[in-house]
Amino acid sequence: MGKVNSQGGLTMPQASQKAGVSQRIGLTDISITYSSPLVKGRVVWGELVPFGEVWRAGANENTVITFSTPVMIEGKNLSAGTYGLHMIPRKDSWTIIFSSNSNSWGSYFYNSTEDVLRVEVKPEVIPMQEWLSYHFTDLKPSSAKVMLNWEKISVGFFLQVDLPTTVLESMRKELRGMKYYSWEGPCTAADFCLKNKINLDEAMTWVDHSISIKETFTNLNVKAGLLQLKGDEEGAQKMKSRAVVVADEQQLNTYGYQLLAENKKTEAIEVFKLNVKRYPESWNVYDSLADAYEQNGNLKEALANYKIALSKAPDGQKKRLTTTIEKIQKKI
């Protein structure tokens, strides 16, 4: 199946065409290269591809699968690298084999001593498919199924990546370059650790380096979050206060709405009032303050600030603000 067709040393089309598929999961790149045979009216399973024998999982040369980071296959660890992909088909179960040898002709030179991993899986019945193909299904942020479809059989394996670990390793590598010398790079790495509650000591080193380059609302808030996770509430509050000092209009506005989302309405109102004081010519700061007052049940102050927002707002916002004002006036 799939011998090279050549005449006089010239390259000719192969009966089983070369194919490939790739997918990124998180920061892990997975690629499969294979040759795709046709059914062509033949009995595939049990005859063309015998049961109980090692099969190249395609045609011609080795089917080759590559992972750019360590992965888990059916719950078992597999290191980053390039592997020859082989299978042992059976009626009710298949063995998927990952071999350290990825450069041979099919499975003719397969040697079980080169196995790196074997997993057992169940085949599924599917509608007829003439061409053999590989594809990724059930994609999630840190997992997918890798499936082979041919004739009326679909078989494959569940693949997972350790997303926090792979991202952390990638960031460490990137921060050994020029990105280390901007405040954004180390801050991003520290924020990732904060959100995933991992690697807190190194994260603190990163955020301190970011702050040493430039104090920003973002990196000060990240440090505040890390201090909170470490149980230092006093230090966290100092960082939050400092973050408010250096924040611009949009950052203060975003921070105020974060407080509202946490049901800290009084604190949110104080942040929005500070934004009004700093940016008195902005219609949006009055709109946000009015929104916070309205959510807190203070309709009188909400109405007053909505009216100021309306007087300063661009035409595209006037209809919404007018409708909001009319609704509040009916409630008072």
pLDDT tens digits for 264-276? Answer: 999 999 999 999 9
* Domains of the chain, first to last: 6-161 (no CATH), 163-246 (1.25.40.10), 249-332 (1.25.40.10)
Q: What is the mean pLDDT of residues 210-218?
A: 97
pLDDT digits (tens, 9 = 90+) for 306-315: 999 999 999 9
Helical (H) or strand (E) element with 114: none
- Confidence band for 108, pLDDT divided at 50, 70 and 90: confident
At residue 5, the pLDDT reads 47
Using DSSP bridges, classify how beta strands 76-78 and 17-25 pair: parallel, antiparallel or unpaired: unpaired
- Mean pLDDT computed over every residue of the chain: 94
Contact 75, 64 (CB under 8 A): no
Collapse the DSSP code of 131 into the 3-class scheme (helix H, G, I; strand E, B; otherwise coil) and give the result.
Answer: strand
Mean pLDDT of all residues in 239-245: 95
Residue 241: pLDDT above 50? Answer: yes
User: Edge to edge, what strands does the sheet with 143-160 contain?
Assistant: 76-78, 71-73, 143-160, 124-140
Q: Say if residue 39's pLDDT is above 50.
A: yes
- The band of 4, judged by pLDDT with boundaries at 50, 70 and 90, is very low
Residues in the chain: 332
The answer to whether residue 98 scores a pLDDT higher than 80 is: yes
Burial 112-132 (b: 16+ CB within 10 A, else e): eebbebbbebebeeeeeeeeb
Mean pLDDT of 44-68: 95
- Residue 17, burial from CB neighbour count under 10 angstroms (0-12, 13-18, 19+): middle
Q: What is the pLDDT of residue 12?
A: 66
CB–CB of 87/157 below 8 Å? no
Structure tokens at 132: 């053999």
Residue 190 CA to residue 194 CA, distance in Å, equals 6
Measured distance CA(258)–CA(246) in Å, rounded: 17
Looking at the predicted structure, is the pLDDT value of residue 96 above 50?
A: yes
Q: Where residue 8 falls among pLDDT bands split at 50, 70, 90? A: low
Q: What is the pLDDT of residues 177-187, one digit of tens each?
A: 999 999 999 99
Q: What is the pLDDT of residues 111-155, one digit of tens each?
A: 999 999 999 999 999 999 999 999 999 999 999 999 999 999 999
Higher per-residue pLDDT: 108 or 321: 321
CA distance 178 to 181: 6
pTM above 0.85, yes or no: no
In degrees and rounded to multiples of 5, residue 149 shows phi and psi of -120, 130
Q: What CA–CA distance (Å, rounded) separates 88 from 90?
A: 7
What is the DSSP secondary-structure string of 167-216? HHHHHHHHTTTGGGGSSHHHHHHHHHHHHHT--HHHHHHHHHHHHHH---
CA distance 161 to 165: 9
d(C-alpha 237, C-alpha 36), whole Å: 62
Confidence of residue 233 (pLDDT cuts 50, 70, 90): very high
For the cut 70, the answer to whether the pLDDT of residue 7 exceeds it is no
The stretch 275-302 carries a mean pLDDT of 97
Task: Determine contact, residues 150/177, Cβ cutoff 8 Å.
Answer: no
Return d(Cα 199, Cα 205) in angstroms, integer: 10
pLDDT bin (cut points 50, 70, 90) of residue 106 is: confident
